[in-house]
Structure 1
Amino acid sequence: MSTGDENVLAAFGAADNRIDIDLGAIAHNWLYLDSLSPKSTITAAMVKANGYGLGANHVGAALYKAGCRQFFVANLDEAVSFRTYLDNISISDAQIMVLHGCHRGQEHDMRAYRLTPVLNDLEQVSRWRLYAQNANETYPAMLHLDTGMTRLGFDPDQTDWLIENKQALNGLEITYIMSHLISGEISDDPANTAQKTRFDEYRSFFGGIKASLANSGGVFLGNEFHYQMTRPGIAIYGVHPCGKDQAITDSNGLKSCITWHGRIIQVRTAPEGATVGYGGTHRLSRPSRIATVGVGYADGYQRNLSNKAFVNILGHRAPVIGRISMDSITIDVTDIPPNIMLKAETAALLSDLYSIEDMANDASTIPYEILTGISRRAIRRYI
């Protein structure tokens, strides 16, 4: 076993696959994104979906140490968990915004855990305002005005009504108005300019309130999209929203923050003509050596990678053959020298030789889904 492979395997414990998460790289990425905006612009961080699958608590603490104070999560459950963790490590001044807003029965916890709901319609405004009035207090909130996503936020009719009836916000401290770009990762998409124009029109009716429009893609569109707060997500985790080619061009910018390894649980020989895996979708064209790795679709290694993906074994690239099983994948290691395979204990599923962008492309999906889909069965190690 090589020293490098021995070090990788040592932290597996009882598990058969593990992801290593470089918190220093994540902090670097946030600082890099922050450097792209004027000093007057705050750079927040998306830590929803358990920090894009990498652990919101560890990621959030690392980002706080780097200087981040504003965090976004999707729902109340995520917010309570994150706030509880921060309180337990004596971090009390972080602001946590809840993108899904405040729903019926959530008002008490929203206030008790010092959360800021992003209000998406008039019903949420009314609910949060009434709760504030009953407490004879002023509560913080953000307003999400839809400018083209048609997913969350005030629709045009409700926005028009709110512009004419701004007294409906009495009792609330509206910290920001925000919207969300639908094609921020495509720099020349006319939708970006159209949304910005609509957003600026809405902003003109809410004078003095800070604004936020840019997601990860929007950060790279230029300062005119940054306003007083940017809200990067996937870029913090080392994935350039504009694609791998752009990431190579901006080589001094974002850093990859994860590697994923699986334990090699068996190496066997098989004759020419043998089929591999369920359905026999791969037939061997030569006498071969097959390595079985203890990771499968139950771990988040997507079935669409069958007969498409590659792994890295001690610097040697090898193809995944046959269908992905629930708990295992099969690798053709025939072309890897036998002396190398004698030393090999693990296969790198994500590495410099096969990136998350490569895996997403082979799975016909996006890096977001790869990251957030890695299951809890893959142990996490923070470095």
Structure 2
Amino acid sequence: MNSTKPHVTTAGADPRLAGGRLTIDLDALVANWTFLAEKSKPAQASAVVKADAYGLGIDHVVPVLHDAGCRTFFVALVEEGLRVKAIAPDARVFVLNGLFAEARPVFEASGLIPVLGSHYEIDLWTGANAVSGLKLPYALHVDTGMNRLGLTVAEALDFAANAREMPVLVMTHLATADEPGHVLNQRQFESFQTLRAAFAGIESSASNSSGIFHAVSNGGELSRPGIAMYGGEALAGVANPMRPVVTLEARIVQIRTSPKGETAGYGATALLERDTRIAISSVGYADGYLRSLSGSGTPLRNVVPKGGEGFVAGHKVPVLGRVTMDMVSFDITDLPEDAVKPGDHVELFGRNIALDDAARAAGSIGFELLTSLGNRYHRRYLYSGKGA
């Protein structure tokens, strides 16, 4: 067998029975991470694998990133961190969503590192360290403009001057880095440099996917790529240099022709202005293909007139009517009569319809589409180990 040819690992539903399939190109994922790691230099690159690796599966994503050299991961929840540790026991794994008192024994046993963002959490952690005699590490989250988790900058500076037990990492989260011209970027980076000086000698991190592409200032010693690693856009209004990682396809169940003047779908929102050939596919909002991608009959269509599209037989075709729980209809009238048949697959996003273009049609973002992917798909993971 040609060693450069990707091998296929499957998961999820039986391909003979599934209404849709997901193809995850792990070589593209690794190539994207490698590109972001190079762009992050002299900082080291970690990988954000929260939300089950953005819907793609921690069990599949973490091993290939670890093989590529990634040794630091970020998750949202302890359960996710335990899954990462089971795969990569030598990796550092930071848990972003704070600390609950009852979780301390799990952190202690597993080696997970909490990201602490309040005096309550810091006192809880360091107090337990004092009682146990263990000096378990933690990261400090500082809020420089998100107004979500974290100490204020003033609180953090005071903490730096008086703390008896310092963090191993100081981090902040950028609120508007995907918009290069936003005034908040400069303010946050300036605050971050003040923090770096106050916590001199301690590893620091500000750059998420968008921040890696930002030229405003130094983003610290550790970058945290997320959405760009999975093929999504990092910056608004800029051509996306990342390779597509995920292709979502729906299987066509039936093709029918309906006469001009009829309506299609729930609410009779799609008025057929010509004799129309319709391909009905077996994926819907229960599978994470959002209802707001409907071609008509949803409030978003009053603001963004164009709904979602599919790609089949070399052509883009519009979603017809409303996306329903288990089915989506497409107008294939403009395709040759024999171009599409039952059993064929129509791409919903992937190489021909960019993830973020599909997300924009839904009035959403690529993050939501990826993390909404359901469990009824047949999943195919492609990996050659070449990462390119």
- Give yes or no for TM over 0.5: yes
Deviations 1:40-75 (A, max 9, x none): 421000000110111122111111111101000001
Tell me which residue corresponds to 2:288.
300
**Quick one: percent identity of the two aligned structures?**
35
**AA at the equivalent of 1:238:** G
Is 1:268 aligned to residue 256 of structure 2? yes
Deviation at 1:160, TM superposition (A): 4.4
- Mapped partners of 1:22, 1:151: distance in 2: 34
- Among 168, 190, 196, which residue is 2:189 paired with? 196
- Mapped partners of 2:350, 2:137: distance in 1: 43
Is 1:132 aligned to residue 132 of structure 2? no
- Mapped partners of 1:159, 1:226: distance in 2: 18
When structure 1 is superposed on structure 2, of 337-346 and 266-275 the one drifting more is: 337-346
Tell me which residue corresponds to 1:80.
82
Deviation at 1:215, TM superposition (A): 0.5
Partner SS for 2:101: coil
How large is the RMSD of aligned CA atoms in angstroms?
1.9
TM-score, normalised relative to structure 2:
0.89
- Among 194, 205, 213, which residue is 2:198 paired with? 205
Deviations 1:187-212 (A, max 9, x none): 22221111111122222222211111
Deviation at 1:125, TM superposition (A): 1.0
- Among 230, 237, 249, which residue is 2:230 paired with? 237
Is 1:176 aligned to residue 169 of structure 2? yes
- Mapped partners of 2:236, 2:24: distance in 1: 21
Deviation at 1:223, TM superposition (A): 8.4
Tell me which residue corresponds to 1:371.
370
- Mapped partners of 1:375, 1:344: distance in 2: 20
TM-score, normalised relative to structure 1:
0.90
Tell me which residue corresponds to 1:5.
none
- Among 142, 146, 149, which residue is 2:143 paired with? 146
Partners of 1:314 and 1:344 within 8 A in 2: no
Deviations 1:195-252 (A, max 9, x none): 11112222222221111110111000138333210001001001121136421xx4xx
Q: Is the helix fraction higher in 1 or 2?
A: 1
Deviations 1:343-367 (A, max 9, x none): 8611111133321111111111111
Is 1:283 aligned to residue 249 of structure 2? no
Is 1:349 aligned to residue 342 of structure 2? no
Partners of 2:153 and 2:195 within 8 A in 1: no
- Mapped partners of 2:357, 2:40: distance in 1: 29
Q: How many residues align?
A: 360
When structure 1 is superposed on structure 2, of 21-30 and 235-244 the one drifting more is: 235-244
Structure 1, gaps ≥5 residues long:
1-7
Is 1:33 aligned to residue 36 of structure 2? yes
Partners of 1:305 and 1:324 within 8 A in 2: yes
Partner SS for 2:186: helix
**AA at the equivalent of 2:22:** I
Is 1:55 aligned to residue 57 of structure 2? yes
Partners of 1:102 and 1:110 within 8 A in 2: no
Structure 2, gaps ≥5 residues long:
1-9, 296-306, 383-388
Partner SS for 1:200: helix
Deviation at 1:183, TM superposition (A): 0.9
Deviations 1:64-109 (A, max 9, x none): 111101000001121123223x1xxxx3211110001221100010
- Mapped partners of 1:156, 1:226: distance in 2: 16
- Mapped partners of 2:200, 2:65: distance in 1: 31
**AA at the equivalent of 2:128:** Y
Q: Which has the bigger relative contact order, CA under 8 A and spacing at least 6?
A: 2
- Among 96, 101, 106, which residue is 1:104 paired with? 101
Tell me which residue corresponds to 1:326.
325
Deviation at 1:154, TM superposition (A): 0.8
